[in-house]
Copies of this chain bind each other. A is one copy, B any other.
Amino acid sequence: MRQGLTKQQIIKQAAQQIEETGLHNLTLAALAQRLHIKTPSLYNHINNLTDLRNGLSCYGLSMLTEKLIQSALGKSQDDALFAIAGTYIAFAKEHPNLYDAIIHVPDPTDPDLHQIAERLLNFLFKILEGYPLSEEDRVHAVRGLRSIVHGFASLQLHQGFNMKNDQDESLKWILSAYLAGLKLNLSNKS
């Protein structure tokens, strides 16, 4: 049987697969079965397992990026950043293994990935243009934002937090503190 199978479809199925089995339990055998082909036939579309994992990273990151951009539409400043952070955490919670794939990229120098990452970075920079930061400070500020939101997501996914207190509230609290300090910082500098 011959189906109009594309690499994108394979990656999409792989994304579903890893949410069932975990990222590091992704096997070509199981993926092939899901696609109703034999294992070696996969090699007509992908180079190897590493290549597939790379594809997963790109797929996940571009999906996340679009959601983040959508969630900030019509918002600015703190409003936008709270929305972005919330969307980010929600994505990680909804697709924990795909999120893992985004972080554990087999080849971080992949050009496709680079392009998507750039899109996300430009977006975050744009949002932070709402704040009177120097060009250099804006780089720090974006890194801080990403650290907070990724660190929070990662710890949450890997059971790093205990259950005693509300985690959603923690995120807002942390972001509030960071943004407050961020504003304070620049007035002190001038």
Q: Is B181 touching A160 in the complex (CB atoms < 8 A)?
A: no
A79 contacts B by Cβ under 8 Å: no
Which chain A residues numbered 142 to 158 have a C-beta less than 8 Å away from chain B?
A: 143-144, 146-152, 154-155, 158
By beta carbon, the residue of chain B nearest A174 is B144
Q: Which residues of B contact A179 (CB under 8 A)?
A: 181
Copies in the assembly, this chain: 2
- Which residues does chain B contribute within 8 Å of A144, judged by CB atoms? 148, 170, 173-174, 177-178
Interface string of A174-188 (1 = CB under 8 A from B): 101111111011000
Inter-chain contact B158/A151, CB cutoff 8 Å? no
A84 to chain B, nearest CB (A): 15
CB pairs A–B below 8 angstroms (12 shown): A109-B159, A137-B173, A143-B161, A143-B170, A144-B148, A147-B151, A147-B152, A151-B154, A177-B178, A177-B181, A179-B181, A184-B184
On A, residues with C-beta under 8 Å from B are: 24, 103-105, 108-109, 121, 136-137, 139-141, 143-144, 146-152, 154-155, 158-162, 164-165, 167, 169-170, 173-174, 176-182, 184-185
